[in-house]
Amino acid sequence: MSMNFASLHRRDFLYGLGSSLGAVAMTDLMAKEALGPLAPKKPMHSPKAKAVIMLFMEGGPSQIDTFDPKPKLNAKHKSESKSSAGLATGFRFYVGSPFKSRKVGQSGMDMSDQWVHLPEVADELCNYRGCQADSLNHPEALFHMNTGSRLGGDPALGSWVNYGLGTMNQNLPGYVVMTELALPQGGSRNWSNGFLPAHYQGTRLRPTGSPILDLQAPKHKTREHQRRALDELAFLNKRHAIKHPEHADLVARMESYELAYRMQAEVPGVIDLKGEPEHVREAYGMNQKETSEFGRQCLMARRMVEKGVRFVQIFSGGWDSHDYLERGHSSRIRSVDKPMTALIKDLKERGMLDDTLVVWTGEFGRTPDNNRRGGVYALGRGHNVDAMTM
């Protein structure tokens, strides 16, 4: 069969070309439909970072006593301050740092002497001292730092990262959150999907027991049984969704069921740390009571990022130091110092640090002074929205 190309009009050619491209696009869309909206997406530019591990120090760590020393402050210790910063009113006095600061690494980074291990990776770090907050209250400041809104309800950072880039592993959540026994102030609103579809919400791993409830299927149910049940449920739900397209939460729930099914096969291998060598567990501080919990979470964060999780957030509480600054900050620094250092070293050794952004932050900083409490000098610091270190 031959074609008379001379009789092929421009309009016919463009019509045929458009139909062909449409068919190709439809084929691509149909192929991606099974992966859902979390399928990997091409970024608008060539990014360097593929994943984020955010270490959130809830309560507001003091920049003065960690990474931003003020040497002249000690000479004013307990002298009256005319500052109006912070929440409290009344007589205010300057509080010198109970810690010494020194230069570490080839870069000469300022670091409190309470950081014993972190100086080993000082040249991998960058201090951002120009960070400011928007609220003196913990819940509002937490919401603002995590979602960009003081009121909460907007999508969290991890939600936006997954919305923009998609997940790299369809069998794991793209956004994972780990906390201590107590939730941070504001609870799950700190990792909310906001106005984005529900599948962009962070998935919290429980700190004790099974990290994810009902991860194992009932003994009398096989994977095949579950698959058939999900397929039947999906068929019924899709019929309902066609008639009621306004029920967006139904679609999100269907996708959650599918993700939960896939997670049953993938998650156990990620959260089970028994296979990690003893020297790795020791490096993360898992054999010491003070660092065991945060160390375990940091190691799990590395394993998750390695498996394709885009955004992992770990909350560490207890940094709100209105009093007993020396005791409180010394204890909190010790609990995260070794695990943080091991995480950065581990990522670098595996070639992952080049494309993994590790962020250490709190919701706001601390003031250089404090107010008297009950007529005595409270050696702590107030909330400061004008200065903090990230």
Can you spell out the DSSP letters for 163-215? HHH--S-TTS-SEEEE--SSPPTTGGGGG--TTS-GGGSPEEEPSSS-SSTT-
Both structure tokens of 229 = 């049940």
In terms of pTM, does the model score above 0.85? no
Query: Does residue 45 carry a pLDDT above 90?
Result: no
Both structure tokens of 162 = 């997954």
Name, in order, each residue with C-beta under 8 angstroms of 72's C-beta and a sequence gap of 6 or more.
Answer: none
Please give the mean pLDDT across all residues of the chain.
Answer: 85
Query: Does residue 46 carry a pLDDT above 90?
Result: no
DSSP string over 89-155: -S-EEE---SS-EEEETTTTEEEETT-SSGGGGGGG-----BB--S-SSHHHHHHHHHHS-TT--SP
> What local confidence, expressed as pLDDT, does residue 90 receive?
73
Q: Kindly indicate the confidence band of residue 85, based on its pLDDT and cuts at 50, 70 and 90.
A: low
Q: Which residue has the tokens 């149910």?
A: 221
Strands 51-57 and 356-361: parallel
Least trusted range by pLDDT, from 90-99, 251-260, 276-285, 304-313:
251-260
What region does 384 belong to: left with phi over 0, alpha with psi -120 to 50, or beta?
beta
Other CB atoms within 10 A of residue 379 CB: 19
Ordered domains of the chain (ranges, CATH): 43-213+275-384 (3.40.720)
Distant-in-sequence contacts of 12-16, Cβ < 8 A, 24+ apart: none
Read off the pLDDT of residues 139-161 as tens digits, 9 standing for 90 and up.
Answer: 999 999 999 999 988 999 999 99
Query: Does residue 190 carry a pLDDT above 50?
Result: yes
CA 300 from centroid of its chain's CA atoms: 13
Name, in order, each residue with C-beta under 8 angstroms of 281's C-beta and a sequence gap of 6 or more.
Answer: 273, 287, 295, 299
* Alpha carbon distance 315, 331 (integer Å): 16
Read off the pLDDT of residues 325-379 as tens digits, 9 standing for 90 and up.
Answer: 999 999 999 999 999 999 999 999 999 999 999 999 999 999 999 988 766 788 9
- In this prediction, what percent of the chain has a pLDDT beyond 70? 77
Read off the pLDDT of residues 242-258 as tens digits, 9 standing for 90 and up.
Answer: 877 766 667 667 676 66
Both structure tokens of 56 = 């959130």
Q: Kindly indicate the confidence band of residue 26, based on its pLDDT and cuts at 50, 70 and 90.
A: very low
Read off the pLDDT of residues 193-244 as tens digits, 9 standing for 90 and up.
Answer: 999 988 899 999 888 776 766 566 667 777 676 667 667 777 777 777 787 7
Query: Does residue 111 carry a pLDDT above 70?
Result: yes
> What local confidence, expressed as pLDDT, does residue 357 receive?
97
Higher-pLDDT residue of 169 and 145 is 145
Name, in order, each residue with C-beta under 8 angstroms of 18's C-beta and a sequence gap of 6 or more.
Answer: none
Task: Give the mean model confidence (pLDDT) for residues 301-327.
Answer: 96
Query: Does residue 181 carry a pLDDT above 50?
Result: yes
